[in-house]
Amino acid sequence: MIEIQQAIRDQLKAQGYTNAFSESIMEQLIDKIDDSRKILNWENIFKVHRGRFRTAASAVEVIERLREGDLKLGEQVAQVLEEEGQTLIDSPRDVKAWLKEVITANNLQGIVFIWDEFTEFFTNNVPVTPLQELAQATGDMPFYLLLVTHRALSQFTRIDDDTRKKLMDRFHPCHLEMTPVTAYKLIGNVIRAEPNFRHEWESKQDSLWSQVDVAMLHINILGEQVNKEELKLLPPIHPFSAYLLATISSLYSSSQRTFFQFLKKMEPGSFQWFIANYPRDGWYWLTPDYLWLYFFEETKIEDIEAISDLLSHYNSAKDRLTEEETRIFRIMMLLTALQRQTEGAHSLLRPNLSVIKRMFVGTTLYNRVEKIAEGLRSKDIMLAIPSGNDTEYIIPRVTIDHDKLRQYQQKAEASLTMEKMINVKKAEAEFAPKLKELFLLQGAAKLRHPIQIATVKELKNRREHVLQGVKKPYEIGVVLVVPQEDDKLVDSENIAKTLTREYPNYCILISQMSFGSKRWKDWIQFRARTWYYDEMRDNNMKKYCDTKANSIVTEWINTVRISKIRSFFRGKQEELSGFEGITSYLGGLVEIVFPYGPERIDKTATLYTNPWGKTGAEIGLQVAKSIQRPYKDVVDKLVKQRLWKESDLDHHTNHPVARLKRTVDELFADQSSVNISELWTAVQQPPYGLMPSPIGILLFSFLLNSYSTGYYYSDGVNSLALNPNKLAELIHEVLKNIGSSENYTIRKMSDEGEKFCLLAKEIFHLAPEQATYPEEARKNMIAAIIKLGYPLWTVIYYSTEAPHLNTTQQTRKAVAILNEALVYDRGELSDVEMKEIVDLVYPERHHLRQCLSRDRMQKGMQIFWSTHAPRLQVLRKKLGMGETEIMAQLRLLLNEDINMWCEKRVKDKLHTVIKNLDLIHAMNLLCGVKKHDLESIRNYFRGTWFTSKLPLTCFREGQPDNVVAMIDYINELIYYPAHVPEENRADDIRSLKQEITIAIKSDISITRKLIEKYAGQNISEQETKLLYESLPVLSGVPENEVREAILRALSQQSRQRKIAELKQKWEELTDSKSPISWSEENRTPIQWVLEGHAHHEFFTNYSNLQHLTESELDEAISHLLDYSTKFGVLLDREHVLDRFTEISAGDYANLVRQSGKMDDVRDYIYNAFNGNVYQWPLQLGQINQRVRQWVNDNYQSSAYPKLVEVIEKMSPTDIKDFIRDLVAKDALIGIRLLTAMQDGK
């Protein structure tokens, strides 16, 4: 603030404004410390803080220099005075007032204050609150504040986000920067040749430019568009130096001024310095390494903290380098600094080898950059990280937390093992993918050989357990065994021989190249460092260590690729020269295991790896409309070899296709039904080894072509005629393992099967498509019986009473054997079983066909009922029930389809049906309804007839034993449907109907009995009725809950009586509804009239009656009775008004009383607080203030006249005595009286 005031003061004086204005902060300082004014002892203060004023010889000199306007000294003086407890007007408010006065007093249109070099203000972390307030003041007066910084506000790290936002809200940011085009023009204008040497210079300029012409192309492509003619004017400044100069100027605000100094001043690395010292030793160009020397090494940029590690690393390494190494090293440092500043957004500002080389285009160093950079890497001065086809250079991390790094080292050693790294099943297995890539398996081999990798240690310890991966019969598993150490190979070969002999579908390959302890140690170290740098968020070092770890593995993998391998298969050992021979070796194994495999037909990779589906099956079954590749190649080859027709296969008996066909035909010849999934598994086995692939589905379908017509298929549920298109669908689903494809079978129908199907169609009226196959026919026979709605054996009962039918023992046997066949738990019928059925049933076919109708089978069921349960018909007629309702009851009891109904079981269930019907009849009589099933009677009983809130079992109370027994029986029947009573007591229900009804319908009577039982109380019928009405619905709850509910209701009823008694007594005593209503009616809190804790507790409880316990209600009633006399004061209106005045007016109570306007005061307070009188005690302080205000406002018209009248009557002596006594007791009155008397003088 001092700076602003002093600067304005100086400018006003310089412009001739002599009009006096308010004293500035500097003037305040002078006034405070000038001893002649005797404000403070400045001489002593100066002596105490003498060390702070090294540039001033005495206290007097300080004053003189302040008068001369020494701002720096003024700040020191102000700071010292503040420490001494002396305040200045260095507050934003005072300064704003000072600015307004200056503008007004000097008749100024306004003040424009431009504060240059404001960067330092933010850098020093000075509080910005005064600045914000001053900026806000610009809206109130013509004061304009412009702050000039050389960095964006976002670049000041010492300003927090909240402060930064406030400043952005107060100030309008305006960003100005030097564009690259401007920079190029400025540089070009600086370079001027001496007139005498102009032609020579222009010639030399062209010669120099021709060396770096390509640089302009790089800048245009990778950086930004530049004008060639402008760059041609820049030599000896290298084009990349110009580009980076412009970049530095835009990235570092302070360097925009330093940019001009670079061109004009004679300092190391500057343009003038280069002109004075070069060309030398064939070096003509001011290359970008000089920019590092000038701007960074000499630290001419701000925010040096961001590159402090670069400067430290550079200074520690530069003395060990040659001149050429120094040049490259400087470029690396420069690009690293610029990459950080731009966050890697520009490809030309990255420390990559390609970029570093471009920086020296046209120099003698260009072709040696890579070699020199490698030298810096080999000296560990820089670290190299592969980056695509390029190399990025980073500085090694200087500061390392060795304790934390050691922890990661221990973690790596404990958690990373060779076994984990080669485990193909683990995503984190780092070595496994690279080792698998060594095999280069393609086409059939990729499907044929699942690969596992194990260490020699695992092979020795786990033996056969390392042999994993083979899950399909067409596979030959490959286990690659790698040693971690050379000495681990001992005995591994014998184990491999033994295992491959015992497990002939596995091949074991043992690499002779170990990983080695040194590699393992180095790899562990780099992995630990990768974790460490990841936690440190040092992505460059993390990337470097990750690259180094990967390079160790890659180097070992490359060695394994060309090293010897010992292979073992079926106990035989071979030696391979490397992975180059693996493909042919595995091919030889396939020829041994699968001599008739698809590889012998065609090895084209796409036949094994391309997507495949139903189309391949259609081609194999020769129903496809067109044949596309890769299938076409196989078909053409088979056609050419005369193998595409089944008739030709006999001429090529040893061809894989002919062998496969022979195997398939043999399976169909041996079995009546062939499971397609099992057949597919068979052809995957040696010696064929078909695989799920384009060629696999094609060949398998071709093999089944002769079975696509004239055969039937089954999916485990349906059996239908087969055709080529349907077979293609089935084959596709089997090979893809879709749904229940494991149940798909193909079969040919026998003579017995055909006769069975014909018989089924005739007897059961089936359509031809419903009996295409025995199982399909059997399924539809069952469906027909279910649709008819009656079991098959009812036809026997019908036949016995049909005069036109002759039922014989043969008929009974025919029905019996059909009953046995037409059930769900019967397996597929064999030819022998079907023959037996046909032999028995065929002679009776006409008889059975005539009987198989709904009405005749219904008649047969009625005859069955009459025969085995005569009473059923009687009850059915009593209840008015039809046959369908009886059948519905049987279905519920049997809980199975009609075809499964066994005659004996149905007989047994008839007794249950009779019992149920009898109970339904009895309950209908009891409830006065006509229901046809127990569930309906239950619903009616619970929902309509028995509506009591109490459980049915409660009505046992006080009843005779026979009625109690029946209540229990009905309760079990109605409320426990899953446990229907075994005993049939329908007759008892009918005989005790009246007694049961009377017992169950007596809600109030039972409730009184329960109250007497649970509480020992005998209450009136009216009270019982009220209590019953208050009960919740308790139907179905246990007795203990009924007891609790009744006792709870009884207690609540007692409470309500006591609440009513309490309210009645209160109204008698107070003539009001409650303490709250009394307070409102009398406009006086009842607490002010009846004081004391007991009364206040009573008032509180009265406001909460419904939540009081019975004991609390008893206490409240006792309180009213005990203090009934005292409660009488509530009816004394004058006493109530006096209590209001006493408490609300306090010390002013007598004034209010004497005014005679107590009612007015009470009304005034009531209106002021909008009623709510009961809560006034909580607002007593505010009420006292309001009353005092009323007294002051009404003093002249109320108390004052009476006071004058009293004074007039008093003698002088009495007045003096009274005043003397009054001031002795009340200090406030005494002081006010004294002040008034002094003012009067």
Same domain for 198 and 138 = no
Direct distance between the N- and C-terminal alpha carbons of the chain, in angstroms, rounded to an integer: 48
Note whether 383 and 407 are same-domain residues: no
pLDDT band at 731 (very low <50, low <70, confident <90, very high): very high
Q: Within a domain: residue 303?
A: yes
Q: Is residue 769 part of a domain?
A: no
- For residues 239 and 217, the answer to whether their CB atoms sit within 8 Å is no
Residue, of 1200 and 518, whose pLDDT is higher = 518
Residue 621 burial by Cβ neighbours in a 10 Å radius (0-12, 13-18, 19+): buried
pTM of the model: 0.48
Q: What percent of the chain has pLDDT over 70?
A: 90
Closest CA to 254 of 292, 294, 301, 298: 301
Same domain, 487 and 516: yes
pLDDT of residue 1241: 47
What pLDDT score was predicted for residue 475? 94
Residue 733 has pLDDT above 90, yes or no: yes
* Span 552-607, pLDDT tens digits: 999 999 999 999 999 999 999 999 999 988 999 999 999 999 999 999 989 999 99
SS3 1012: helix
Does residue 85 sit in the same domain as residue 31?
A: yes
pLDDT at 322: 93
Per-residue pLDDT tens digits for 961-1014:
998 898 888 888 888 877 777 888 888 889 998 888 888 888 888 888 888 888
Q: Which amino acid is at 772?
A: T
Whether residue 416 sits in one domain with residue 383: no
Residue, of 145 and 188, whose pLDDT is higher: 145
Cβ proximity of 876 and 896 under 8 Å? no
The pLDDT value recorded for residue 844 is 87
Exposure pattern of 507-545 as b/e (b: 16+ CB <10 Å)?
Answer: bbbbbebbbbeebbeebbbbbbbbbbbeebeeebbbbbb
DSSP label at 1072?
S
Q: Tell whether 594 is covered by a domain.
A: no
- Specify whether the CB–CB gap between 650 and 659 falls below 8 A: no
Handedness of CA 1051, 1053, 1059, 1064 (dihedral sign): negative
Q: Is the dihedral of CA 88, 90, 95, 96 positive or negative?
A: negative
The Cβ of residue 316 has, within 10 Å, a number of other Cβ atoms equal to 11
Position 410 confidence tier, pLDDT thresholds 50, 70, 90: very high
- Does residue 895 lie within any of the structural domains? yes
Task: State which residues form the domain around 1226.
Answer: 1210-1241
Confidence of residue 177 (pLDDT cuts 50, 70, 90): low
Tokens 């001033």 correspond to 56
CB atoms within 10 A of CB 996: 21
Confidence of residue 75 (pLDDT cuts 50, 70, 90): confident
Which of 149, 150, 146 is closest to 4 using CA atoms?
A: 146
Q: How much is the pLDDT for 476?
A: 94
Residues 243 and 124 in one domain: no
Provide the pLDDT confidence category of residue 159 given band limits of 50, 70 and 90.
low
Paired tokens of 841: 């049933």
> Helix 903-927 crosses helix 870-879 at what angle (to 10 degrees)?
40
- The last residue of one of the domains, among 990, 1017, 1050, is 1050
Does the structure show a pLDDT above 70 at 300?
A: no
pLDDT, tens only, 1214-1233: 888 888 887 777 666 777 77
- Same domain for 908 and 998, yes or no, is no
User: In the predicted model, is pLDDT for residue 507 greater than 90?
Assistant: yes
Mean pLDDT (whole number) for 330-359: 87
Q: Is residue 489 within 8 Å of 512, Cβ to Cβ?
A: yes
Distance CA 807, CA 813 (A): 11
Indicate whether 707 belongs to any domain.
Answer: yes
Query: What is the pLDDT at residue 1211?
Result: 84
CB-based burial, 469-488: b 16+ in 10 Å, e otherwise: bbeebbbbbbbbbbbbeeeb
In the structure, what pLDDT confidence band is assigned to residue 715 with cuts at 50, 70 and 90? confident
In single-letter form, the type of residue at position 1126 comes to K
DSSP states of 385-399 as a string?
A: EEETTEEEEEPPP--
**Claim to verify: residue 324 and residue 457 sit in the same structural domain:** no
For the cut 70, the answer to whether the pLDDT of residue 180 exceeds it is no
Over range 451-464, report the average pLDDT. Answer: 91
The answer to whether residue 832 sits within a structural domain is: no
3-state percent breakdown (helix, strand, coil) of the chain, nearest 5: 65, 5, 30
pLDDT class for 256, splitting at 50, 70, 90? Answer: very low
Residue 255 has pLDDT above 50, yes or no: no
pLDDT digits (tens, 9 = 90+) for 524-546: 999 999 999 898 888 878 888 88
d(CA 177, CA 174): 10
Q: How high is the pLDDT of residue 1239?
A: 66
Higher pLDDT, 1197 or 1059: 1059
Provide the pLDDT confidence category of residue 353 given band limits of 50, 70 and 90. very high
Nearest CA-CA partner of 1099 in 1127, 1071, 1125? 1127
Query: What secondary structure letter does DSSP report for 651?
Result: G
Q: Give dist(CA 989, CA 995) in Å, integer.
A: 10
Distance CA 1146, CA 1148 (A): 5
- Is residue 590, in this structure, part of any structural domain at all? no
Burial 622-648 (b: 16+ CB within 10 A, else e): ebbeebeebbebbbeebeeeebbeeeb
My answer on whether 230 and 346 are in the same domain is yes
| 3-class DSSP assignment, residue 379 | coil
SS3 944: helix
Residue 558 carries which side chain, given as an amino acid letter?
N
Asked if residue 81 lies in contact with residue 48, where contact means CB atoms within 8 angstroms, the answer is: no
The span from the CA of 680 to the CA of 658, in Å, is 16
Q: What is the pLDDT of residues 735-778, one digit of tens each?
A: 999 988 898 998 877 778 888 989 999 999 998 888 878 888 88
Distance separating alpha carbons of residues 157 and 344, to the nearest angstrom: 20
Token pair for 482: 């790698």
Domain boundary among 903, 922, 941: 922
Identify the pLDDT of residue 158: 58
DSSP state of 293: I
Shared domain for 994 and 863, answered yes or no, is: no
Strands 451-455 and 390-394: unpaired
Both 1184 and 1238 in a single domain?
no
**According to the model, what pLDDT value does residue 258 have?**
64
Comparing 793 with 748, the larger pLDDT belongs to 793
Per mean pLDDT, which range of 292-306, 693-707, 875-889 is the poorest? 292-306
Number of domains in the chain: 8
3-state DSSP call for residue 673?
A: strand
> For residues 22 and 100, is the Cβ–Cβ distance under 8 A?
no
Q: How far apart are CA 649 and CA 652, in angstroms?
A: 5
- 373-388 tens-digit pLDDT: 999 988 888 888 877 7
Peptide bond into 236 cis (omega under 30): yes
Q: What is the predicted pLDDT for the residue at 230? A: 73
Residue 1037 pLDDT: 82
CB 770 within 8 A of CB 787: no
Biggest CA–CA distance in the chain, Å, is: 161
In the chain, the amino acid numbered 788 is L
pLDDT in tens, 1102-1139: 888 888 888 888 888 898 888 888 888 889 999 989 99
pLDDT at 120 over 70: no
Cβ atoms within 10 Å of 605's Cβ, excluding its own: 13
Q: Dump pLDDT digits (tens) for 611-670.
A: 999 999 999 998 888 888 888 888 888 888 888 887 777 777 788 988 988 899 888 888
Residue 767 lies in a domain: no
Q: Which of 1025, 1050, 1075 is the last residue of a domain?
A: 1050
pLDDT band of 305, cuts 50, 70, 90? low
Contact 594, 688 (CB under 8 A): yes
CA distance 1112 to 1133: 30
Task: For residues 34 and 138, state if they share a domain.
Answer: yes
Rounded to the nearest 10°, the torsion over CA 924, 925, 929, 934 is -10
Q: Which of 580, 587, 540, 532 is nearest to 560 (CA)?
A: 580
| pLDDT at 321 exceeding the cut of 80 | yes
Cα–Cα distance measured from residue 731 to residue 768, given in angstroms and rounded to the nearest whole number: 27
Q: How confident is the model at residue 499 (pLDDT cuts 50, 70, 90)?
A: very high
* Burial of 97 from C-beta contacts in 10 A (0-12 / 13-18 / 19+): middle
In DSSP terms, 566 is beta-bridged to 510, 575
Give the integer Cα–Cα distance in Å for 543 and 551.
12
Q: What is the mean pLDDT of the chain?
A: 84
- Asked if pLDDT for residue 1169 goes beyond 80, the answer is yes
Lowest-confidence region among 83-87, 229-233, 408-412, 860-864: 83-87
Render pLDDT for 936-953 as a digit per residue (tens, 0 to 9).
988 998 888 988 888 888
Q: Average pLDDT of 437-446?
A: 91
Q: pLDDT, tens digit, for every residue of 1062-1099?
A: 889 999 888 999 999 999 999 999 989 898 888 899 88
Query: DSSP characters for 593-621?
Result: H-TTSGGGT---THHHHS---HHHHHHHT
Instruction: Give the strand pairing for 719-721 and 565-569.
Output: unpaired
**Which residues are CB-neighbours of 488 under 8 A, at least 6 positions away?**
455, 456, 457, 460, 514
How far is it, in rounded angstroms, from Cα 1101 to Cα 1030?
25
